[in-house]
Each structure stands twice: as C-alpha cells, then as structure tokens.
Amino acid sequence: MCDRHPIDGVPTPDPSHSPEEVVSIQLGALASNDDPFEDAGIAVAYNFASPANRRATGPFDRFVRMVRGPRYAPMIDHVEATTGALERRGSRAEQRVTLTGPDGRTVTYAFGLSSARDGDLDGHWLTDRVALE
C-alpha cells in the first residue's frame, strides 16, 4: 500500500453516514480484515480516520503496524462486537465497543468521532481516536 488517502477498493466517508454507521462500517471491515484484499479492514479504518488522526498515526504502513500491535490486535478478525449507546454532543460523538478477539480475549474501546472540520470532509463523521478502556 502507499501513502495516498483514501485507499481505493474499500468504503470511504460519506456525509450521509451517522456516527453509529461509521463505527459499524469499521467494525464490520475489521471483523474480516483480509476481505477483499490483505489488510482491507485496516484500510477502511484508515479511510475513516480524521485528518488529525492520520497525521498522528500514518502513513498507512505505520497505521497497519499500530493496529496489528498488542493494543489494537483484538480488533482484527474479532468474532463478536457489542456496541454501547452513542453519546453525541453537537459535532462530537463517542461510542464504547466491546470486542471478543479471535483468541477469546475481550477488550473495550472508546471510539471518539467528530464531524466539524475545515475542507472537503466537513460534515463527514470521522474517527479522531480509539482508546483502550
């Protein structure tokens, strides 16, 4: 993969997506990470990362290493996802997600999203952070 954004061949942000849909799209992609190509699920998460998030975690090859690392590895090919209620305050939202990884380990993450930013992505819900709880 290269450093371009968005990565072709996988879902990308759209202003019609609600914050819940953005989390759901990423979780679905990560559950079958290598479909339709290797690390496609991680590519979806990269596509839905806010510009500030990508600046801190990219380029894509570095983002892949981070997601495959011990903190986020349970997301890859997880077997179950339980989402909590979305808490929304204006252009910011947060949703907790408990995942059961392929090894049976259960981990909870808090997805922080926002929709207000300068440029072409204003009004698109994007992930600013995913924090291990």
Which domains are assigned to the chain? 19-132 (3.10.450.50)
SS3 state at 26: helix
pLDDT digits (tens, 9 = 90+) for 12-54: 999 999 999 999 999 999 999 999 999 999 999 999 999 999 9
Distance CA 44, CA 71 (A): 18
Residues in CB range of 86: below 8 A, 6 or more apart:
19, 20, 23, 93, 94, 95
> Is the confidence at residue 127, as pLDDT, over 60?
yes
pLDDT digits (tens, 9 = 90+) for 67-112: 999 999 999 999 999 999 999 999 999 999 999 999 999 999 999 9
